[in-house]
Structure 1
Amino acid sequence: RLNLLTQCFAFGLFYLCFRLLALERFLFLAALSVLKSAGSTHDWVGPPNPLSNLRPIIYHIPDNETELEKRLRNLRQETEDWNHNFWAKQNITFSKEKEAFIISQLKAKGLTLRDEDGRRRSLSSEEMATFYKNFLDKNRVRHANYNKEWYRRNFTITLLMARVTLNSMWRTVTERQSSKKNGTPTS
């Protein structure tokens, strides 16, 4: 009964932290949006998210953004959000399973999580290596699927970047040709 109460409390605390971090991310993004609207011409990079360990990015939106540039920016943002969600979930799962492993190993030795001085007990590197290997083995397919999707997205982003660059170069060349015909100097 006490164990169930402890689990409920831990879940409630975890949920509260998760919601606060979501609020923190929202406030960060809102603050950056305000900064961007003040005339920034660069992307904004925030501090690492405590759950995913990834830095959020607010991408600059140029005034004369083309449809192709918009597609690229949106895909980059969607990929960043997808990446953040994957690693936040993965890191939470890892932390929970690691904690459960440590507790179970200590319990098997007849030890509690804290020593008589109140310090947290730990396991040896060899003992933890067992957990790390098992965790990686158990999540092998998930990580392989993540990598495939990550490569697919990055390949698409790279192709879009190449198209945006070529379109920009073409636009520059045609504008120069047009201005030469009209006798207007180019900048």
Structure 2
Amino acid sequence: MAAWRVLGKRRLPPLAARAWRLAPERGAECGEAAPGRASRFCPPRKSGHDWIGPPDKLSNLRPVHFHVPEDESPAEQKLRELRQETQDWNQRFWASQNLAFRKEKEEFIHSRLKAKGLGLRTESGQKATLNAEEMADFYKEFLSKNFQKHMYYNRDWYRRNFAITYLMGRVALERAWDRLRPKPKTRS
């Protein structure tokens, strides 16, 4: 099983032993997965980095738990929330799409085997399969049927990523400005 890893400036070894345990210092807030979230895991409060987890079983996407700094500016908060919202949106889309794909694939295989007069299992008890050419028909049909859906997904994905990139630039400029701005002198 893949472990959660910290994203940041330094690399840490995999946390396989603690991969799916809830952080006790987080308390009740991590007890249940949020709606649309892939995992109940919460990184320790003391962590100052985003955490990335193992692929979700339905969507095959790797969920990210975003670090919330104590001194988060409004722009940083907006960026983090947009990133989280985009991740959740992406998770829902691909979980739904993958479920539909698997269901339609099984139905296609079953109908083709039935048309050939074959069962779902071979004489030796193994699962019956179709050849690559027959499966290519299914893939082509599935992609054609879902073309519009994927086109809208790609359009929205680009729109969201351009917004995220814009906010990241804005946050970077704010941080640079804060470092370069002269600090007010304090009198003792």
2:180 to 159, 173, 181: 173
| Separation of aligned partners in 2, 1:160 and 1:135 | 36
Structure 2 unaligned regions, length at least 5:
1-30
Amino acid at match of 2:78: R
Contact 2:38/2:56 (CA < 8 Å) preserved in 1?
no
Which residue of 2 is the match for residue 135 of structure 1?
Answer: 142
Amino acid at match of 1:83: N
Which residue of 2 is the match for residue 87 of structure 1?
Answer: 94
Structure 1 unaligned regions, length at least 5:
1-22
Q: What's the CA shift for 1:183?
A: 8.6
Contact 1:28/1:46 (CA < 8 Å) preserved in 2?
no
| Separation of aligned partners in 2, 1:130 and 1:36 | 48
Are 2:112 and 1:102 aligned?
no
1:36 to 30, 44, 51: 44
- TM-score w.r.t. length of structure 2: 0.77
Q: By percentage of residues, which structure has more helix? A: 1
Q: Tell me: CA distance 1:112–1:128, structure 2 relative to 1, closer, same or farther (3 Å).
A: same
Amino acid at match of 1:56: P
Give the fraction of aligned pairs with identical amino acids, expressed as a percent.
Answer: 52
Are 2:133 and 1:150 aligned?
no
| Separation of aligned partners in 2, 1:145 and 1:28 | 23
Q: Tell me: CA distance 1:139–1:166, structure 2 relative to 1, closer, same or farther (3 Å).
A: same
Which residue of 1 is the match for residue 85 of structure 2?
Answer: 78
| Separation of aligned partners in 2, 1:132 and 1:28 | 27
Contact 1:103/1:113 (CA < 8 Å) preserved in 2?
yes
| Separation of aligned partners in 2, 1:140 and 1:28 | 26
Q: Aligned pair count?
A: 155
Contact 1:29/1:58 (CA < 8 Å) preserved in 2?
no
Contact 1:36/1:60 (CA < 8 Å) preserved in 2?
no
